[in-house]
A and B are shown apart, each in its own frame.
Chain A
Amino acid sequence: MMAWYIEVDQLSKTFPTATGLIPWARKLGRVERRRVLDGVTFGVRKGELFGLLGTNGAGKSTILRIISGLVSPDGGNVRVGGFDASTSPAAMRRIVGLCCTDDRSFYYRLSARHNLEYFGSLAGLDGARLRERIVEVARAVDLNADLDRRFDSFSSGMKQRLGIARALLGDPEVLIFDEPTRAVDPAHAAAIRSFIRDELIGRHGKTVLLATNQLDEAWELCDRIAVLRSGRIAVVAPPSELDVRAGAPLRYTITIDRNEPELFDRARTLPGLVDLQIDGEGPSVRMDVSLRAEPRALTELLRVVSANGVCVSSVRPHDRRPADIFADLISGHADAR
């Protein structure tokens, strides 16, 4: 059995929808609740970079806030590093660093250094160790030259990078990032991604949970991705497998050396074939095929079209864009696995 470092088990959460006294009174105290999470279960290995994807309101941030101890679940359980969120919340918060990249999560009238001093103290650091750590984390996010500037003079990207620096202060085992590159310029976004992948994961062996709406970022960074749909996990898989798990047809361009209508007719009877278009004559015939995402569909097709001495000169898969795969996943093609 796999030993998960972060275990999320059957997590469910509803939020009240009615606010204020009048709606409350109208419903005689029975406040309606909106379901945000419905039996969410997944595990994250130690040292893994795990992504959470989903449309707005799918429940990504709620999961992160539950793991950070800011929201209590209605049901289910969360364990991090062996600590249970319901019975050992303080111990859990010691090994979890939440990277709030909200512009409004710092004291505007204090400098970056003074902000980090305060949050570092709350993380348990003191004296010389705190001062050294502030310089280390500021250097890591390229803010060491701006430490003594007031927070309200920072750009959005700098504020976001300071949020990352704050999460790193206590050197937690688990880092939680909620859209870490949302307002960051492309150069710094690339630097942050490289920092997360190479430094946090590669060099320090941290476990990272990343919620993002940047699909390319998730595909580039994550070892595995969980896609949330209507408060449930639609699929959990490495990015390379999400295309197959999306259930949408896989497209290939196959080049063969001659046009054999009889073979094409036989190919069209294959159960895995969705579409077949033939283009060209003579020594270079191009077949554009769409196949169901089934394990032997391509093998079967190649067996059929290469009969009668026909030579297959190339098979080129069409990589689908993450946005297309994501659209398929959230539209309900994928099996919940």
Chain B
Amino acid sequence: MASDRILRHKGIDRLFHWITAAAVLILLATGLLPVLGVDFDWLPIHWVAGIVLIVVILFHIGRSLFSQSVRSMLIGPRDLGALASDLGLGSSTVKEGKYLAAQRLMHHVIALFTLIAIGTGAVMLVKIDTPFWKRQPYWLQESTWGIVYSFHDLAALAFVTLIMLHIYFALRPEKIFYTRSMISGWMTRQDYLDHHDPALWPADEKKEQN
């Protein structure tokens, strides 16, 4: 008899998601609260959380390239029709593969700003003293540092918008089973059949699905 539960996210992927979420929230809080007038020693927390984020993102990139299906994350023009359905605004439900078009689009936008944030953040690490290295403030010209800071700030500001939207859609009643699957790992067979095309995401091979 078929199981009522479909494995959607392995434990390692759920762990990655929640470590990333915690790191991003810590980075936003430590980066933006001082801007809002909350004064505290934010820099040590910020750079440690930044290094954690860099490590888990490198892990995720490696795992995605070598042991997961990159194809399941591709997005193309034919996915545009599915977006309205994904957002609950279509006239009918479009059944998709493992990841909905809206989920893939959100992933790619978040990935873009994450790469900008950790790329510029990694460069900015040379400007601070840590137990592991001494600061090199003159490594770049002052005007070049300004460009690096601007891209870092842009990523931080974009994250304010993106995280708010991500949490909003994650808490929508019709999408809450995806959030539950990011906690428990599974979704019900009924939700799977209602929202996914078994030809595009075969549940019978769930143990091999990444």
A, B in one complex: no
Binding site for B on A (CB under 8 A): none
